[in-house]
Amino acid sequence: MLYSPQFDTPLNFPRKLRVICVGAGISGIGFAYQLTRNVENVDLVIYEKNSDVGGCWFENQYPGCQCDVPSHSYTFSWDGNPRWNKYWASWSEIQHYLRGCVDKWYLNKFLKLNHRLVSARWDIEESKWHLEIATPTGRIIRDSADVFFDATGALNRWKWPTIKGLDKFKGHLVHSAAWDHSYDFTGKRVLLIGGGPSGVQITPQLAPIVTHLTHHIRSPLYVPEMRGQNDSPENGYYSEAEKDKFTFDPEYFLQYRKHQTEARFGSFLVSHKDSELQRETRKKVQESMRQRLQYREDLCKKLIPEWEYGCKRSVPGTYFLETLLRPNVRVLAGEILEIKEHSVITEEAGEDQYDAIICATGFDTSYIPSFPIIGRHGINLQDEWAGRVEHYLSVAVHGYPNYFMGSGPNNSTNVVTIQTGAAYAVQCIEKIQKEAIRSLEITYDAVNDFTIHRDLFVKDMVWTGACSSWYKNGTKDGPVLGPWVGSGLHYLAALGKPRFEDYRIRYVHGNRFAYLGNGQTQDEIEGKNLSWFIRQDP
């Protein structure tokens, strides 16, 4: 490209950029907040497929749905919520918190609800993303952007189990992530399928009102006490006096939030297969489960794992194990062989009649996008990742310039890592804007090096233990795609500042120094802050 000097703008001139964010859950909201406060002259739009913000906390509304970590460690780091009612917040409280963030940060003007992304394609000539979006009426509109931020995450596509005859059932059939509030379970015979967090939270809610509940749990699961239980207020609810103290004593509230966070992030060593903490924790949780199950051998055998604690996500549950002791509750293991119009045949119990079936069977955790994303080489990321999911530090993919993920593979999917992924993308956008960059694309070598490091690192971690887990896309020996290669704090530090040496950079004007511009800074032109470099060291 012939170099055409740009002498009409100052150093680091913030040229106009258009940024499209897809998804308005924690990732999208955190991204929008950080982008609008740190980067000027940006045209932002957020497309969200649902009728309101919140992501999985809008979609999951089943009975008992709540966060299983303390509420005050489940907020954006810059915006605590002094008015949490519950120590472990319900889905509705979390969704209300996220909706409140959007309102007070004036993000509604960027939102387009009920707009679903259909496809995205990188135009190599224009160095822009072209997106097709389905509107609420079903009409397809087209939009384009300099940067595409993917805030869809992994836990947004729920899936039915693959069971023969599921579609033939004539009773009430529902997935936990698409709950039907109109159905009354009172007095019904119910089959609940799935031993993840949803199933563990639903069982204590339904058992007291149904005639009979069969909970089908195919494989064992660790059910520790709720995280932070020793610090929980009485009955798990904050008093008005406690909430007032959080509200009117900011320093006290800040220290309380820090305490909650430190307690949560202080036990990474338990994830090492051969650590003493791992062995101690496994024995402790196993014995705790036996006690809570009153040493019933049939239940202990079905529910208590022998593999490493944390091999798959532990499932803290309030009164779950205790509920399984009720006379109207039964636990089945093994396989479900067939579902008929009004009955289910299982490997363990044969054929039983049911009025309702609840599938608490989780999400598609393959990380393969739900829409085509066509990159620089004309390759669809759906096809590329169908073979093997390869990425860079959870945030970027080779062959897909100016494309960033807020909750990609190996992000660990907690608020700290999600907001950090968003902050990383914001820094990249600022560089693209102020240094006249056409495209920022992670190199293949960087992706390959990270993949090699990840695969070697996880060999000594519990996630590669002998269990099937969503961390490994439901397999026992697949690549670990869920957890980061370290602690949450390690992720925050590792992605705190982008390594731009890992990127291939193309420039708008063909010369990397075109951004030097007319020889002046913006402050000089505006006649302000001309002595910013003067200080007095002690």
User: Could you tell me if 417 and 484 are in contact, meaning their C-beta atoms sit under 8 angstroms apart?
Assistant: yes
pLDDT category, 2, cuts 50, 70, 90? Answer: low
Is residue 535 pLDDT above 70, yes or no? Answer: yes
Q: What is the pLDDT of residue 5?
A: 64
Is residue 317 pLDDT above 60, yes or no? Answer: yes
Write out pLDDT tens, residues 456-474.
Answer: 999 999 999 999 999 999 9
Closest to 114 (Cα-Cα) out of 141, 82, 75, 149: 141
User: Could you tell me if 488 and 417 are in contact, meaning their C-beta atoms sit under 8 angstroms apart?
Assistant: yes
Of the two residues 8 and 258, the one the predictor is more confident about is 258
Residue 162 forms part of a structural domain: no
CB-count burial class (<10 Å; 0-12, 13-18, 19+) for 274 = exposed
Share of the chain above pLDDT 70, in %: 99
Residues 35 and 107 in one domain: yes
- CB neighbourhood size of 193 (10 A): 25
Average pLDDT over the chain reads 96
pLDDT category, 211, cuts 50, 70, 90? Answer: very high
Residues 346 and 377 in one domain: no
Residues 50 and 147 in one domain: yes
Report how far residue 411's alpha carbon sits from residue 413's, in angstroms, rounded to the nearest whole number.
5
Of the two residues 110 and 527, the one the predictor is more confident about is 110
**Domain closes at, from 305, 335, 359:** 359
Is residue 1 pLDDT above 60, yes or no? Answer: no
Residue 95 forms part of a structural domain: yes
pLDDT category, 227, cuts 50, 70, 90? Answer: confident
pLDDT category, 106, cuts 50, 70, 90? Answer: very high
Structurally, the chain folds into a number of domains equal to 2
Lowest mean pLDDT of 232-241, 415-424, 440-449, 497-506, name the range. 232-241
Residues 355 and 371 in one domain: no
Lowest mean pLDDT of 38-47, 218-227, 450-459, name the range. 218-227
Query: Which amino acid is residue 330, in one-letter code?
Result: R
Residue 70 forms part of a structural domain: yes
Q: What is the pLDDT of residue 232?
A: 87
Write out pLDDT tens, residues 267-303.
Answer: 899 999 999 999 999 999 999 999 999 999 999 999 9
Residues 424 and 495 in one domain: yes
Residue 166 forms part of a structural domain: no
Domain that holds residue 226: 175-359
**Domain closes at, from 338, 359, 380:** 359
Mean pLDDT, to the nearest integer, of 370-395? 97
Mean pLDDT, to the nearest integer, of 514-527? 91
Mean pLDDT, to the nearest integer, of 151-180? 95
User: Could you tell me if 214 and 358 are in contact, meaning their C-beta atoms sit under 8 angstroms apart?
Assistant: no
Is residue 3 pLDDT above 70, yes or no? Answer: no
Q: What is the pLDDT of residue 183?
A: 98
Residue 485 forms part of a structural domain: no
Residue 387 forms part of a structural domain: yes
Write out pLDDT tens, residues 475-503.
Answer: 999 999 999 999 999 999 999 999 999 99
Residues 245 and 337 in one domain: yes
**Domain closes at, from 359, 380, 415:** 359
Lowest mean pLDDT of 203-217, 469-483, 522-536, name the range. 522-536
| Residue 394: CATH number of its domain | 3.50.50.60
Residue 260 forms part of a structural domain: yes
CA distances to 97, 137, 212, 441 from 65, in Å: 15, 31, 21, 39
Farthest-apart Cα atoms in the chain, separation: 83
Residues 399 and 270 in one domain: no
Q: What is the pLDDT of residue 6?
A: 67
Residues 204 and 297 in one domain: yes
Share of the chain above pLDDT 90, in %: 91
Report how far residue 99's alpha carbon sits from residue 93's, in angstroms, rounded to the nearest whole number.
10
Q: Which residue has the tokens 């904050």?
A: 238
Write out pLDDT tens, residues 112-131.
Answer: 999 999 999 999 999 999 99
* C-alpha dihedral sign at 304, 320, 53, 28: negative
User: Could you tell me if 114 and 49 are in contact, meaning their C-beta atoms sit under 8 angstroms apart?
Assistant: yes
pLDDT category, 265, cuts 50, 70, 90? Answer: confident
Residues 397 and 329 in one domain: no
Residue 525 forms part of a structural domain: no
Closest to 439 (Cα-Cα) out of 149, 151, 3, 147: 147
Residues 341 and 371 in one domain: no
Residues 415 and 342 in one domain: no
Write out pLDDT tens, residues 229-240.
Answer: 878 888 899 999
Residues 141 and 277 in one domain: no
Q: Which residues contact 278 (CB under 8 A, 6 or more apart)?
A: 269, 270, 271, 272, 308, 309, 310, 462
User: Could you tell me if 485 and 453 are in contact, meaning their C-beta atoms sit under 8 angstroms apart?
Assistant: yes
Q: Which residue has the tokens 């258009």?
A: 18
